[in-house]
């Protein structure tokens, strides 16, 4: 007997023994309750619902591998998904807000470089001229003892062989504790190793320096012309004061002295103009009361931060002391500065 007939007969048997059936003696009628998958059998006031397997099969399908269509669900997901342009705009907005918050934090610890009046420059620079560096970090003492010096490592330069002095000349204190040590950050990105860098002779250093200098000027849209007027009013120390600190003869015509992390350098006007541009674009950390810079001191990054109580720097920046003032420099400017220090050292 078909399954539906068996269920119907069962339902009729149950209904016949009920009081309502005995009292009404009505013939049952069958109807479908919407799309619920059930047949309704009406016995007067009583309704018995019988599950309709065919309706179930219509919903689920007769095959074992039949699956519910996913098109509408996926379409709904696509409709609810924000457009790519909107997501990109929201991402950029979040980045801008993060940058603004970061800049605000930096503004609390740093100031932009500003031009100084002649009177203010004289007052501040004269105080610098009398500030001495720690004995084992004072370049005026070290340079009088040996022609080249590496600081930040326990090395007695008096006992160093001549062929090793080149290594130390190419490793200023600002780079001594970098990873790898001594190599400027941009050259590390180019794959230059420690062994390669410390072996560079004067000609190779000059080539690297000029390449990095020109790249820095180009990336910052700085154009230097022969005979241009050099504005060094943001420097704390001028060329003559640097000469006084190290007992140097006055710089020849068309050249200037500068002081980078305790090392005096002598620059042609073009390179001196580059130095002035780096100085103008740098950020200046706000020093606490009583903190005085020692212009002749050569210190590592960690020693600079500890000695002058400097705030931490975000990634991509380094500290340096230029003409007696601590600067926070982006890596390309810091690297150019260190190359000037090496390639244009007076000693």
Structure-block tokens of residue 201: 């002779």
126 belongs to a structural domain = yes
Identify which of 24-38, 39-53, 114-128 has the greatest average pLDDT: 114-128
81 belongs to a structural domain = no
23 is in which domain, residue-wise?
A: 3-66
Considering the domain architecture, whether residues 137 and 33 belong to the same structural domain is answered as no
pLDDT of residue 344: 92
104 belongs to a structural domain = no
Asked whether the beta carbons of 151 and 134 are under 8 A apart, the reply is no
Give the whole-angstrom CA distance, residue 176 versus residue 309.
20
35 belongs to a structural domain = yes
Considering the domain architecture, whether residues 278 and 201 belong to the same structural domain is answered as yes
110 belongs to a structural domain = no
Give the residue among 114, 59, 52 at the shortest CA–CA distance from 282.
114
pLDDT in tens, 300-342: 899 999 999 999 998 889 999 999 999 999 988 999 999 999 8
pLDDT of residue 308: 94
Q: What residues contact residue 241 under an 8 Å CB cut-off, 6+ apart?
A: 125, 129
Is pLDDT above 80 for 287? Answer: yes
Q: Average pLDDT for residues 205-211, to the nearest whole number?
A: 90
Considering the domain architecture, whether residues 60 and 205 belong to the same structural domain is answered as no
Give the whole-angstrom CA distance, residue 335 versus residue 212.
8
Considering the domain architecture, whether residues 187 and 41 belong to the same structural domain is answered as no
Residue holding tokens 């970090």?
A: 137
**What's the pTM?**
0.64
Considering the domain architecture, whether residues 185 and 42 belong to the same structural domain is answered as no
Structure-block tokens of residue 88: 């990109």
pLDDT of residue 140: 85
Is pLDDT above 90 for 183? Answer: no
Number of domains in the chain: 2
Considering the domain architecture, whether residues 205 and 129 belong to the same structural domain is answered as yes
């Amino acid at each position: 007997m078909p399954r539906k007939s068996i269920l119907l007969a069962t339902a009729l048997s149950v209904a016949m023994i009920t009081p309502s059936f005995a009292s009404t003696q009505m013939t049952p009628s069958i109807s479908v309750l919407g799309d619920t998958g059930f047949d309704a059998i009406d016995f007067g006031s009583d309704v018995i619902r019988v599950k309709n397997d065919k309706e179930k099969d219509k919903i689920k399908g007769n095959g074992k591998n039949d699956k519910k269509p996913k098109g509408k669900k996926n379409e709904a997901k696509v409709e609810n998904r924000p457009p790519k342009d909107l997501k990109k705009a929201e991402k950029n907005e979040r980045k801008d807000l993060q940058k603004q918050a970061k800049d605000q934090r930096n503004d609390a610890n740093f100031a932009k470089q500003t031009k100084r009046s002649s009177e203010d420059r004289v007052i501040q620079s004269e105080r610098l001229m009398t500030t001495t560096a720690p004995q084992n970090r004072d370049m005026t003492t070290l340079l009088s003892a040996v022609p080249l010096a590496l600081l930040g490592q326990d090395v007695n330069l008096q006992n160093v062989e001549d062929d090793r002095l080149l290594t130390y000349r190419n490793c200023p204190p600002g780079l001594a504790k970098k990873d790898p040590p001594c190599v400027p950050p941009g050259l590390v990105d180019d794959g230059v190793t420690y062994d390669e860098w410390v072996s560079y002779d004067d000609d190779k250093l000059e080539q690297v320096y000029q390449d990095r200098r020109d790249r820095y000027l180009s990336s910052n849209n700085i154009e230097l012309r022969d005979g241009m007027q050099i504005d060094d009013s943001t420097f704390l120390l001028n060329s003559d004061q640097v000469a006084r600190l190290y007992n140097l003869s006055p710089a020849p015509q068309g050249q200037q002295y500068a002081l980078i992390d305790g090392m005096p350098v002598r620059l042609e006007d073009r390179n001196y103009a580059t130095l002035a541009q780096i100085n103008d674009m740098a950020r200046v950390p706000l020093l606490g009361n009583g903190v005085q810079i020692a212009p002749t001191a050569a210190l590592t990054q960690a020693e600079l931060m500890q000695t002058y109580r400097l705030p931490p720097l975000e990634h991509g920046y380094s500290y340096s002391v230029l003409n007696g003032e601590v600067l926070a420099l982006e890596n390309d400017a810091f690297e150019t500065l260190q190359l000037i220090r090496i390639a244009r050292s007076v000693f």
